[in-house]
């Protein structure tokens, strides 16, 4: 796991060493074990190394092929690199290291962009072709590793994090107002936009070329296919899920440093820990708990330390915990905003602390991310119907029921100072565009569930992965996600939706905890039946609890002074009266606005940290 950066000056202006060095310095947290820069006139590649496979100097990057034609800067892990190396050696390639980086480099040399179909892992990398004078960039299927780029003013600049693009000196931080609308609607980005105007993200499952003439081409090489077409008995489904799950976990234990695990108390991280601990007898596990002394209602169940401790006992791990209090949010906000850069999905500052804890004991940690999205873990968020529905009606109905961070009717008021600049944005169309590659005129009832799963995997999962990467790498920690093994994903997406979800529920507001708790035992049917052998019925049948702090309570009590101070000093892009209304509704218990309050807090902080020009 590492950090990458680069500049390609289309106007043929030479890249200064100080320029690429500034970029790699800005992401030194991603790779404290080494750094490197490669300059070829108007092209520069930079790298920061977190050494995990082959700790020797042979793994130094940027790395070149023997004849010097191709040079790579690479971030990630390709877990099947040893098998691919055998294939390449049979074709005559000779290797100087034991790294997966060199395998990726020669795989591209041999197969070009088709090499991406062969990789089972997580990655973002760039390869400079000196002969063709062309830069190739690629990102893994699911978007586990991020890759940002800026392509204006005759310079193409890319990096693992936005801050490196800013450090290049080619870009002046400016707010993308259209991106802001997208975030305030979905608490996420469904497109390739960011909060930084003209900085985009290469989307998951995509690669791109840019040549010496400035021609930029993007191509999609993979996408989720929740077809549910597999004809299989329940017994066979459990057996195959188990086989692929164990294979996925074992694959991701590769490395020359210890591998540990997060342990939330849920079945996904719990089962990963149970399987991994069979191969790693001295495994360490990590849990974040919450001080619930001021919590109320359903948030009193948010601390899952007891469940995690029980699983640690079963797996015989060395277990560590950290307990967060209301004040821990404000304590980390400056550093948190600096590392996260752009907000996605929910309140993720507990993840920042989890990574901080885990990083004290090693460089690699396993995570349970992906299990919910693949196997139907959010029944309250899916669109249900008992009869065929035309696509446009499906979109209209689904969009209306979809939990939006700030309802469309309130956005105009909140963003009144800049509304004229963004009123042309139709977020319903952004929502519909998620399905553009799988759109069909009429959807059957089962199609609607599979389309819902597709939306979650393409948007919510991607947001989770970007957040996890940023916050773990803030502490020089690599997070691996066994559920996103290619073979397991391919199988899970083919399973019928009836093997994932047992009952139909009305879609619930994301703040409606009671509805979520009612629905969540009806999801992940086949996965629960598979994992019972590792965790037992009591744990597997426990109601799902997301990893969330009791902020609805804290925002009314212990954190209210901090929130008032921050939100009464909001940036001029926001209508202060609208913000106060959102806050008053929450404090008076008229409406649970915890997600909106959190997002406004973060936006305020982030836009200041990065000194966005908001005019």
Which sequence positions are flagged as catalytic?
2
Q: Nearest CA to 368 among 265, 481, 256?
A: 481
* Contact between 612 and 337 (Cβ < 8 Å): no
CA-to-CA distance for 490 and 474, rounded, in angstroms? 31
Beta bridge partners of 138: 125, 207
Radius of gyration of the chain (CA): 24
* Contact between 406 and 419 (Cβ < 8 Å): no
Number of residues assigned to the chain? 615
Alpha helices in 404-524 (DSSP H): 408-414, 419-422, 427-433, 445-455, 461-473, 486-494, 513-519
* Secondary structure (DSSP) of 495-551: S-GGGT--S------TT-HHHHHHHGGGS-HHHHHHHHHHH-HHHHTSPP--S---H
**DSSP code at position 459:** I
Half-sphere exposure of 537 (CA within 13 A, CB side): 0
Half-sphere exposure of 6 (CA within 13 A, CB side): 32
Half-sphere exposure of 137 (CA within 13 A, CB side): 28
CA-to-CA distance for 444 and 434, rounded, in angstroms? 18
Element (H, E) at 244: helix 234-251
Name the pairing type of β-strands 155-159 and 148-152.
antiparallel
* Secondary structure (DSSP) of 297-355: GGGGG---HHHHHHHHHHHT-EEEEEEE-TTHHHHHHHHHHHHH-S--SS--HHHHHHH
Half-sphere exposure of 449 (CA within 13 A, CB side): 30
Question: What three-state secondary structure class fits 451?
Answer: helix
């Amino acid at each position: 796991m590492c950090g990458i950066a680069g500049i390609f000056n289309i106007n043929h202006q030479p890249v200064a060493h100080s320029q690429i060095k500034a970029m790699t310095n800005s992401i030194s947290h991603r790779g404290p074990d080494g750094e490197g820069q490669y300059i070829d006139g108007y092209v520069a590649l930079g790298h920061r190394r977190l050494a995990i496979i082959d700790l020797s100097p042979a793994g130094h990057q940027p790395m070149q092929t023997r004849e010097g034609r191709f040079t790579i800067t690479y971030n990630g892990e390709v877990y099947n690199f040893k098998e691919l190396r055998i294939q390449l050696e049979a074709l005559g390639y000779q290797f100087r290291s034991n790294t997966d980086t060199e395998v990726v480099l020669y795989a591209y040399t041999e197969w070009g962009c088709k090499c991406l179909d062969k990789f089972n892992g997580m990655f973002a990398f760039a390869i400079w072709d000196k002969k063709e004078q062309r830069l190739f960039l690629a990102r893994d299927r699911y978007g586990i590793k991020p890759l940002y780029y800026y392509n204006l003013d005759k310079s193409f600049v890319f990096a693992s994090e936005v801050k490196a693009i800013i450090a290049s000196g080619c870009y002046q931080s400016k707010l993308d107002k259209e991106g802001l609308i997208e975030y305030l609607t979905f608490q996420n980005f469904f497109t390739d936009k960011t909060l930084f105007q003209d900085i985009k993200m290469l989307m998951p499952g995509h690669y791109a070329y840019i040549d010496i003439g400035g021609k930029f081409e993007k191509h999609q090489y993979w996408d989720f296919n929740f077809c549910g077409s597999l004809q299989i008995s329940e017994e066979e489904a459990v057996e195959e899920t188990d086989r692929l799950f164990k294979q996925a976990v074992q694959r991701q234990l590769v490395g020359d440093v210890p591998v540990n695990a997060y342990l939330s108390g849920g079945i996904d991280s719990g089962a990963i820990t149970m399987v991994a601990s069979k191969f790693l007898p001295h495994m360490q596990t990590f849990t974040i708990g919450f001080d619930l002394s001021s919590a109320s209602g359903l948030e009193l169940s948010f601390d899952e330390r007891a469940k995690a401790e029980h699983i640690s006992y079963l797996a015989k791990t060395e277990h560590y915990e950290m307990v967060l209090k209301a004040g821990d949010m404000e304590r980390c906000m400056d550093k948190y905003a600096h590392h996260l850069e752009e907000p996605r999905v929910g309140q993720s500052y507990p993840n920042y602390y989890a990574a901080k804890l885990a990083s004290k004991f090693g460089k690699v940690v396993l995570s349970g991310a992906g299990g919910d999205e693949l196997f139907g873990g959010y029944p309250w968020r899916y669109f249900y119907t008992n009869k065929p529905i035309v696509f446009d009606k499906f979109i209209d109905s689904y969009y209306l029921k979809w939990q939006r961070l700030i309802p469309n009717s309130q956005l105009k008021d909140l963003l009144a100072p800049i509304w004229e600049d963004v009123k042309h944005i139709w977020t319903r169309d952004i929502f519909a565009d998620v399905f553009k590659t799988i759109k069909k005129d009429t959807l059957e009832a089962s199609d609607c569930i599979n389309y819902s799963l597709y939306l979650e995997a393409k948007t919510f999962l991607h947001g989770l992965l970007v957040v996890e990467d940023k916050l773990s790498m803030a502490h020089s920690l690599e997070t691996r996600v066994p559920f996103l093994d290619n073979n397991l994903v391919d199988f899970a997406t083919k399973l019928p939706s009836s093997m994932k979800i047992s009952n139909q529920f009305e879609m619930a507001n994301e703040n409606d905890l009671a509805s979520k708790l009612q629905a969540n035992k009806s999801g992940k049917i086949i996965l629960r039946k598979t994992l019972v052998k590792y965790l037992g019925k009591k744990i597997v049948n426990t109601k799902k609890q997301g990893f969330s702090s009791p902020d609805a309570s804290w925002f009314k009590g212990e954190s209210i002074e901090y929130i008032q101070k921050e939100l009464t000093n909001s940036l001029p892009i926001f209508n202060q009266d609208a913000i106060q209304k959102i806050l008053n509704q929450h404090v008076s218990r008229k409406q649970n606005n915890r997600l909106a309050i959190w997002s406004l807090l973060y936006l305020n902080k982030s836009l200041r940290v990065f000194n966005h020009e908001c005019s």
